[in-house]
Structure 1
Amino acid sequence: MDFLVGAEDDDGRSRRRSRASSGRGGKRGRRRKRRRNKGGFLAPMLAVLILVGGIGAGGYYGYTWLSDVMTPDDYTGQGTGEVTVEIEAGQTAGDVAQTLVEQDVVKSAKAFTNAIAAAGKSSSLQPGVYLLRKQMSAAAAVELLDPGKQLLDRVTLKEGLRLSDTLTTLAKATGKPLKEFQQAARNARALGLPSYARSRLEGYAFPATYDITPNMSAADILTAMVDRFNETAEKEKLVAGAKELGRTPHEIITIASIVQAESGKADDMGKIARVIYNRLEEGRKLEMDSTVFYGLNKYGIAATNADLESTSPYNTYRRTGLPPGPIGNPGDHAIQAALNPPEGDWRWFVATDPERGITEFASTEAEFFRLKAKFEKSRTGG
């Protein structure tokens, strides 16, 4: 078994010799070894503590630096002065942020995009014109970009309104000079009028409610009205419908404008359109007071004998056929009536009670005279 007991360790010393070591020398050796081990542990620990302390100090300053980097520049408060900002269709929150930075409304694009995301309004931005302030906080800017706070003029234009009255209404509503609208109305090509309009806006400035922003010019506003007409014409299949009736689209709009002017309510429009078609087909004069008044630039219910002497091309008591063009701007109901008149043999109609919008129809001349007498009686209060 000596070969086991006497086997050498890696360092060349025999196990027997190390076991035989005794006395003070052996104990001192062990004591020294412990001291060396203790010192070997403290030195790395001290280094670790110094390192951690260094990281802690650096971490604090690093955190401060990162915080400054991660927090975007932003103004504080509600800002000063006034700035008009327009959001265009299709713009993203990032696009709007850049516009706000360029106009010095917010200090940084990131501050705005963060604020609008925090408010949950990133997808609620609406095209329009808004009133903001210079150097305001991003959060305050987000609040003022609410769709309900848009700067606009809401204008409602009634069906049948003449172009001259339409332009006057628009000028008053927007504060723009009437001359600007009159000049814009003469530039048919710029407004996008259909070719069959014969370069005249009358009849094609579609009556509706329009939201008008301060940045819109007179031409922009009228173009929007023509665009609305074109949409309606397409929806109602105006061109195809006119062809089926043996008429041009311009003639249909002219008929629709007379229907609009003569009717007291939408339910009567189809019958009035049928009266017009029946008289045209028989070669009768239309004898419409509304066309006479338009030619005279007057308003009224019943034309006088003096009015009927007018030489205007719109005097349908003296001239056969349709007048040269529309006498107002018809709405969609009137256009529908002109395209789809009901069957019937009516050749006359009389507004027997204009105040209540009551119109009665006649197929014979005798019936017409009876209705006319009824109208005269209501006018005199008899």
Structure 2
Amino acid sequence: MSEQRIDERDDQEIDQGTRTPDDVTDLLDQAPQPRSRTAARWGKSCLSVLIALAVIVGGGFFAWHKFSSFAAETLSTPDYTNAKGTKDIHFTVPSGAPLTTIGEDLQKDDVIKSTKAWKKAIAAYDGTPTVQAGTYRLRTQVPAATALSHLTHPATYRIRNTVQVLEGLRLSDQIAALAKGTKISVKSYDAALRKPQDLGLPPWAKNKPEGFLFPDTYELTDGATATSVLQQMTGRFTQVSDSIDLTQRAQALHVTPYQVVIVASIIEKEVNRPADRPKVARVIYNRLAKGMKLQLDSTVLYAVGKDGELTTSDAERASKSPYNTYVHAGLPPGPISAPGEAALKAAANPASGPWMYWVVVNPNTGETVFSTTKTQHDAAVIKFQQWCTAHKGKC
């Protein structure tokens, strides 16, 4: 605004009595003066500096806040830092134990420093960790993440407690092998066998465990009992029999599933070459169909309580035991051994053929001759006798 315009307005105000001459003089003294370009630039620079400082201070505060939170969280989560730990320890995970309980037990055994660190390790795990029951070889005073890693790799860190039961054993020999391998007494197993309804046998097994304790290698859980071990074995039998459609195959053969198991138990004791098993099954079914006695030494040996011999005596073959197939027609009343999967498959899937006889002519190699006529069979028996003559003490 120019001084002339101010003077004119002021004159009017003086004339109207609203302003005095002194007021006008003061107003002129307060009128803004033009600013230099240098001053303007300086003001802008100051403002920029102030804004930059505000950003730096604000960012620093944010970073400090984050760092403080992280540090506080870290310091408030006690955890060991040395993945090598201090000493070996056997740590047991009970069956069905939840992760929280496992963490508490780990802390009690000084494997980890705190359950909070354990929960943090679980949260950082890729997915949901699964910890199998069993005893693990761990180290004390390790980071929780290390302990979790070891527990989720049972193949590497779990201590395997196993027992092996071979094919072809009769029940009493199976129990002896189990007692030795599991450190559970024969008395305990015998007590469990007296309650066959608790063992998980197939409904058609007639509550008779012989032949249904499947031969295999079993991994035992901590706290295993005689009953739980036998349940594992019958459960494995059911799994295998289902996989080979044993029940359906029995129907197709016009026999019962129980009879298929009996045939399989005989196969297990008579031959060991894979190709011979289905042929032996066919001979058994052929002889049964014609009403011929089976006349098998393996059944006689079971009847008289022997095992492993290649032949039987006249007195043994005269035994009145229902298991003596020289005296009694048909199959023995029950299995004479525990058949493996191959024998079960053979019994359920016999080969096609007219054979009525077989004889193992070379027990060392397992060579077996199958015959259709009695004359052919007698010739094969002579070969076996010649082998026995050449191998004194074997027969």
- Please classify the TM superposition score into its range, dividing by the shorter chain length: 0.7 to 0.9
Q: 1:272 aligns with which of 277, 280, 283?
A: 280
- Kindly provide the amino acid, as one letter, of the partner of residue 100 in structure 1: L
Q: For 2:79 and 2:271, how far apart are their aligned partners in 1?
A: 61
* Structure 1 position 185, deviation (Å): 2.6
Paired residue secondary structure (1:349): strand
Deviations 1:227-265 (A, max 9, x none): 111112222222222122221111110011101111121
Question: C-alpha offsets along residues 273-323 of structure 1, whole Å, 9 cap, x if unaligned?
Answer: 111111111111111111111111211111111211222211111111111
Which has the larger displacement, 12-21 or 249-258? 12-21
CA pair 18-174 structure 1, distance change in 2 beyond 3 A: same
The normalised TM-score by structure 1 is 0.79
**Is 1:209–2:214 an aligned residue pair?**
no
In 1, Cα distance between the equivalents of 2:205 and 2:374?
35
CA contact (8 A) 1:151 1:213 kept: no
In the alignment, structure 1 residue 327 sits paired with structure 2 residue 311: no
- Residue 141 of structure 1: aligned partner: 147
RMSD over aligned Cα atoms: 3.7
Offset at residue 79 of structure 1 (A): 5.8
> What pairs with 1:40-189 in structure 2 (closer than 5 Å)?
67-71=71-75, 72-75=77-80, 78=85, 82=89, 84-86=91-93, 88=95, 96-101=102-107, 105-115=111-121, 123=129, 125-132=131-138, 137-139=143-145, 141-142=147-148, 144-145=150-151, 146-147=153-154, 148-189=156-197
Equivalent position to 2:5, from 2, 12, 28: 2
* Cα deviation code 1:349-378 (max 9, x no counterpart): 101001111111111111111111110100
The corresponding residue for 1:373 is 382
Q: Distance in 2 between matches of 1:349 and 1:362?
A: 6
Shift of 1:203: 0.8
Letter in 1 for 2:230: L
Give 5+ residue unaligned stretches, structure 1.
Answer: 27-40
Percent sequence identity over aligned pairs: 34
The CA distance in 2 between the partners of 1:376 and 1:367, in whole Å, is 15
- The residue correspondences of 1:341-352 to structure 2 (distance < 5 A) are 341-352=350-361
User: 1:73-124 deviations in whole A, cap 9, x for unaligned?
Assistant: 23566366845322647x7756643553466643333313544777879647
The aligned amino acid for 1:267 is A
TM-score (norm 2): 0.76
1:318 to 305, 327, 341: 327
Note the alpha carbon deviations across 1:48-85, whole angstroms, 9 max, x for none: 99xx8xx98xx79x966763434422356636684532
Structure 2 letter corresponding to 1:195 = P
User: Any gaps of 5 or more consecutive residues in structure 2?
Assistant: 14-18, 32-45
SS of the equivalent of 1:369 reads: helix
Is the 2:361–2:384 Cα contact (8 Å) retained in structure 1? yes
Partner deviation per Cα, 1:187-233 (whole Å, 9 max, x = no partner): 21111101211111111111122222332222111111111111122
Change (3 A) 1:208 1:17: same
What CA distance in whole angstroms lies between the structure 1 residues aligned with 2:140 and 2:186?
33
